[in-house]
Amino acid sequence: MLSKAKIQYIKALEQKKFRQERQEFILEGRKMVLELLKAPGPFRIKELYLQEDFPEPVQSSVAVYISAKEMERISLQSTPSGALAVVEIPKVPLAPPRKDNLYLALDGIRDPGNFGTILRLADWFDLAAVYASPDCVELYNPKTVQSTMGAILRVPVHYTPLAPLLKNCTLPVTGSVLQGGSSINTTFLPCDGIIVLGNESNGISPELLDHIPLKLYIPPYREGSESLNVATAAAIFCAVFRRNLPSLPR
C-alpha cells in the first residue's frame, strides 16, 4: 500500500519547484514506460509504479505493483494508463552542432503541447538534437512529457542561450520568419544546420535575428490568412529541408 507521504511525494512532481529541487520528473503511460525500460538512454528510473493488472512482464528492481485506486491517486492524467515512473532528470552535456546533422533551435516556445509536438517531429525527421532558449517551457512539465509521445527518450534537448550558439555555429543557420525573408518555395536550402523557430506570439527575438543569415518564410497561399502554428511551421521546415537529403527514406 502506498503511504500518504509517498503519494504526496510523487504528486509534488507536478510542480516545477519540486522537479527542480529534486531533479526528478514523472513519465507516465504504458507505452512510454515500456519504451523507457527498453531503451533508457540517459534516463535513470528511480521509482516505477505499475497497476496490478499490467499486461506485460517487467524486469525492474524498482517496480511496485499497485491497485487501480492507488494509481488514480498518484496519476497526473485524467485517465491513468497503468504505468508511472519517477525518473531522474539526466545531466546532458551541451553538444555543439555537428556537420551533416540537422537541429532545431526553439526561441521562447511557451506552450507545452507545441514543445512536445516539435520533439515528436525532431524524432520523426531524425534531428540530432533540439536547442531551447532558457525561457522555453520546461521539458519536464508533465504536459510536455506527455505530448512528446516518447520522443523525449530519443531526442536530446539542450537548454542554452541561443545567441552565442548561433553566433559560433559554423553550419548553415536559418530561421522561420513571418515576413522579410526568402520563400522556402524558391530558395535553395541546405540539408544540415540549425533552423530557428520563434515564440508563438512574437516570433524570433530581435537579438537573434542578426545571427541568422538565411531568414525563410512559408508563403501564405491566401491573402489575409493568419500565421501558422509554430509546430505546423516546424513540420513544414523539417519536411522541406529533409527532401534535400541525397538519399531519402521510401
Stretch of 76-84, 136-144, 162-170, 227-235 lying at the interface with a copy of itself (CB under 8 A): 227-235
Site for a copy of itself (CB under 8 A): which residue of 55, 59, 179, 226? Answer: 226
Site for a copy of itself (CB under 8 A): which residue of 4, 53, 59, 248? Answer: 248
CA atoms within 13 A on the CB side of 39: 9
Task: Give min distance, CB of 73 to a copy of itself, in A.
Answer: 26
- Residue of 155, 61, 72 lying closest to 106 (CA atoms): 155
By CB under 8 A, tell whether 220 contacts a copy of itself: yes
- For 10, 27, 44, 77, 125, the CA distances from 40, given in Å and listed in that order, are 20, 12, 7, 22, 21
Contact 76, 14 (CB under 8 A): yes
- List the x/- string, 188-217, binding to a copy of itself by CB under 8 A: ------------------------------
Site for a copy of itself (CB under 8 A): which residue of 123, 193, 198, 211? Answer: 123
* The C-alpha cell that represents 206 in the structure block: 530581435
Q: Can you give the binding site for a copy of itself, defined by CB under 8 A? A: 113, 117, 120-121, 123-126, 149-151, 154, 183, 185-186, 218-222, 224-229, 231-236, 239-240, 242-243, 248-250
